[in-house]
Amino acid sequence: MKEREKRVLVGMSGGIDSSAACIMLQEQGYEVVGVTMRTWDVASHFTPGNDQPNEVIEAQELAARLGIEHHVADVRTEFRQVIVQYFIDEYMRGRTPNPCVMCNPLFKERILCEWADKCNCAWIATGHYCQLKDLNGYRYILTGDDPLKDQSYFLWKLPQEILKRMMFPLGGMTKASVRDYLASKGFEAKARGGESMEICFIEKDYREFLKEHCPDIDERIGPGWFVDSKGLKLGQHKGFAYYTIGQRKGLEIALGKPAYVLKINPAKNTVMLGDADQLKTYYMLVEDYNVTSLEELLNCKELSVRIRYRSRSIPCRVILLDNGQLLIRFEQEASAITPGQSAVFYEGNRVLGGGFIASQQAIKKIAAENEAKFL
């Protein structure tokens, strides 16, 4: 191998997974270069007296111990402009954002590619729990072997040019085995470390975050009405941006029975409430999709889709509508279809692609008009 082919850039967060990935790749004979992105400063991540967050310091300490080259990429301004603004904008549109899905292709992996080129690295590696497979000239993401940690759901937007440079050293391991591996290499304290937050830039409730970073939100939106499925007013809410599809807790309205958010209408500032059965459906619209092969997706006989990170995979069929959207028919009832979230398609453990769940307005009419195409 040429020198460049031996060099791999690892995204180092200072945590368990990226640390294990560095050690493993080094053992496999690669020359590891680490880069830690400083994206968003969270107060609880700083030790008094330090001007760098703990994750940066921990990554630097690991790099020094392993004797590897390490860099810090200060991308806080761009992260705020790209990822955090997307997060805020989606809620202001009455949708529920998927920041991790957007962050991987638009931000982290793109920056890793730039740093890999700067550092003369052919490869890029992360601590994600997923795997890769080359088939028919394409590189596909496969689910990780640990079903509780599989992160393939978040990576559907990655383009082929990035995937063909990627490595996921932990994909064939469980979290427990990664901890054991770290401990066996003399990193017992690191192996016992805790998990990172689901959304890295939010410490508490997203509603508090919206108020802090969009201080005029209550002036721009203001109170609106809870309505039932017939449009009858049930009571006032605080503003549509503070609610998500399927939400039951925190509605602060007494109807004498459990109520769930069924729909959000930002144009009218209304939030429709109903019972759990009204959340169920056999159809879904998806837009802005990225698939390895559209023909393969449309003709797949063993297709399934996940509509949330932790949700089960639901068998389905897909057709392409004239407006470019995908219409999905579930083989089993699904619940709480949430615009803005990701729908990720699988054939077995292989990711075929994904898209964003679109507005489900007029879904019954659209489904009825196109039902014959599924036969």
The answer to whether 24 is a known ligand-binding residue is no
14 belongs to an annotated ligand binding site: yes
Length of the chain as a residue count: 375
83 annotated as belonging to a binding site for a ligand:
no
Q: Is residue 197 a known part of a binding site? A: no
Is 12 annotated as belonging to a binding site? yes
- Contact indicator for 87, 217 with CB cutoff of 8 Å: no
Instruction: Confirm whether residue 224 is marked as ligand binding.
Output: no
**How far, CA to CA in Å, does 67 sit from each of 7, 23, 56, 61?**
14, 11, 16, 10
Which of 121, 200, 300, 316 is labelled catalytic?
A: 200
Q: Is 11 assigned to a binding site?
A: yes
Q: Is 111 annotated as a binding residue?
A: no
- Residue 342 counted as an annotated binding residue: no
Q: Catalytic: which of 22, 100, 103, 130?
A: 103
Residue by residue, DSSP assigns 7-62 as: EEEEE--SSHHHHHHHHHHHHTT-EEEEEEEE----GGG--TT-SS-HHHHHHHHH
Whether residue 200 lies in the annotated active site: yes
Annotated binding-site residue? 146: no
Helix (H, G, I), strand (E, B) or coil at 279: helix
CA distance 135 to 151: 20
Q: Any catalytic annotation for residue 103? A: yes
Phi and psi at 245, nearest 5°, equal: -60, 135
Look at residues 45, 55, 18, 52 and name the one whose alpha carbon lies nearest to residue 33. Answer: 18
Q: What is the C-alpha to C-alpha distance for residues 361 and 370, in angstroms, rounded to an integer? A: 15
Residues recognised as catalytic: 103, 200
| Residues placed in the known binding site for ATP | 11-18, 37, 127
| Residues placed in the known binding site | 11-18, 37, 127
